[in-house]
């Protein structure tokens, strides 16, 4: 199925020779139509009416759908259940200044997010959060803590806490590294 916009490709071929600007617009239209054709074409095994939709701001419900289905698959495949963990720094009035979020699953504690407000940094709050995570991980019989960070964030902080870099992706983002760190628990 070709989208109505992509029907304009035919007209572009005629006018592209007349004007450079039109040629540029037509090239963008051809690329767009190529993507649209890919998204609507499906595979030979795709059920009728199933389309690939690009969303630049997916809804929390769409993301939750993916998380829940992947979690269900992982539990069925491994037999291991997971448990979320969240620890938060709050003021007396409940304002949030930082925290850590992750989960334990299959003998590993995974730290997805750690954040401490700039005004609270250098006061030991990040260390306090990570010590609490480690204590909770041990309570949950985890053998290791895994996390990811960028080279411009806090790899030195984690290394001081006993984490080792076990993986890196160069140029993510460009000019930097994405690091995977692990700390083995006794």
Q: What is the pLDDT of residues 8-40, one digit of tens each?
A: 444 454 444 445 555 566 666 666 666 656 655
Residue 47: which pLDDT band, with cuts at 50, 70 and 90?
A: confident
Reported as half-sphere exposure (CB side, CA atoms, 13 A), residue 50 has a value of: 7
With CA atoms as reference, report the closest residue to 134 among 116, 121, 147: 147
Q: In a 3-state reduction of DSSP, which class is residue 1?
A: coil
pTM, to two decimals: 0.75
Between CA 111 and CA 130 the distance in angstroms is: 9
pLDDT for position 50:
87
In this prediction, residue 30 carries a pLDDT of 65
Interatomic CA distance for residues 71 and 108, integer angstroms? 15
Does pLDDT of 48 surpass 90? no
Give pLDDT, residue 132: 98
CB 150 within 8 A of CB 177: yes
Confidence (pLDDT) at 49: 84
In angstroms, the CA 156 to CA 79 distance is 35
Sequence length of the chain is 186
pLDDT band (50, 70, 90) for residue 118: very high
């Amino acid at each position: 199925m070709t989208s109505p916009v992509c029907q304009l490709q035919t007209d572009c071929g005629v006018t592209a020779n007349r004007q450079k600007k039109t040629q540029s617009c037509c090239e963008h239209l051809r690329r767009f139509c190529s993507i649209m054709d890919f998204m609507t074409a499906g595979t030979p095994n795709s059920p009728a009416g199933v389309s690939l939709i690009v969303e630049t701001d997916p809804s929390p419900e769409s993301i939750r759908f993916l998380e829940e289905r992947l979690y269900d698959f992982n539990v069925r495949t491994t037999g291991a259940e997971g448990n979320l963990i969240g620890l938060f720094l709050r003021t007396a009035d409940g304002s949030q200044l930082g925290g850590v979020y992750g989960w334990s699953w299959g003998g590993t504690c995974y730290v997805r997010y750690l954040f401490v407000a700039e005004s609270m940094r250098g006061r030991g709050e990040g260390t306090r959060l990570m010590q609490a995570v480690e204590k909770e991980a041990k309570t949950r019989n985890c053998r290791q803590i895994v996390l990811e960070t960028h080279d411009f964030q806090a790899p030195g902080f984690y290394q001081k806490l006993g984490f080792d870099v076990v993986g890196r992706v160069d140029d993510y983002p460009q000019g930097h590294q994405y690091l995977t760190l692990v700390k083995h628990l006794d």
